[in-house]
Amino acid sequence: MNNQNKQTMNGLPYTNTWQSILITLVINLIVTLILYLLNIINKSTFVTDAFFCGFISTLVSVAVAYPQMKRLRMSGALPSVVEEGHILQKLPRNPILLSLALGVLFALLMGVFAFLVRWFFEIEDITPLRFLVWKLVYATILSIKMTELVVLRLVQPDCSLPGEPKQIGTAIVRNPLPRKDTFSDLLRTITDDFGFNLLSGLIFGSTVVKGHTVTISPTTRDGIIIGGIVLGMILTLRMVYPVAKSIYAQQNAGVLPRMDKSTFLSKLPYRPGLFALILLVPVMLLSAGTLWCVLTFFGFTELSFFQFYIIRSIYVSLLLKVVILIAVRRYSQPSEGHQ
């Protein structure tokens, strides 16, 4: 393992978020148990709990990240070059005040978010198990993003004090904040995806045209297996193959670092087309199985196009990360005939 990889693993706190995640999850487990014993898990709890979770998760993230950042700063291990945020620098530098400011902000955001989720998906039946899974999923994501945000705040130039050692670190601090082009890219993605699904619906029968009216049939639990298989085919064509092709090009251009040893992933085909073809069946089965489990677990018997679009988008974004990881690992290691 080279020095850069070691620094990536042992450097900034956002690469070691397990402490804040674990503490946050334990707190959420205890809260869920208390609410269950008090028999007050309902629609109102769904929102108010998110409010308090946003506040508590912020306190935990700051409490875990700040001491690590202070030690790194005193040893000169923080990055010498960081992305400056003028709005971010308006937040307090003091950890207690920072906790309170971000805590209030994210308490409000998470409360509104939970309310919109409950309203959008028309959630009425909230069982303790569904409530627990919901809490653990969003609390984990919130903990990770919150730690990234806290780290980004604490590496800003205004946090540097006289007499501190010069920072000579080379790690890159991840910026979790949305950029200016994020929303335009999101709108373009939604528009393109909507058009593609409308067209595919005409081919596979889920879109019905009657006169001047276009009707997109709802997604049902009974039909999600077939729908998931079709989605897997589409994702293989529109996502797996382009990702493999892009990383394949990076490898041929010498941009992708090479691994010293081969793993079982080196057995995957080298050509992007064959690479995608091999993953076709696994992606189809995974898509069908995952979507069926989600609809079944949360009690959704029927979803509108837009409701299913949100769930599918989350699934696709997670799958994309896995596909990129597999492709990078495949093309960064030697394989027979392609050294």
Mean pLDDT of the chain: 84
pLDDT in tens, 234-262: 899 989 999 999 999 988 888 877 777 77
pLDDT in tens, 3-24: 333 333 344 666 567 888 899 9
Give kind and range of the element (H or E) at residue 216. strand 213-216
pLDDT at residue 339, rounded to an integer: 46
**Residues above pLDDT 70, as percent of the chain:** 83
- Residues 103/55, Cβ–Cβ less than 8 Å: yes
Check: pTM over 0.85? Answer yes or no: no
pLDDT at residue 102, rounded to an integer: 95
Give kind and range of the element (H or E) at residue 219. strand 219-220
- The span from the CA of 236 to the CA of 238, in Å, is 6
- Residues 256/247, Cβ–Cβ less than 8 Å: yes
pLDDT confidence band for 95 (50 / 70 / 90): very high
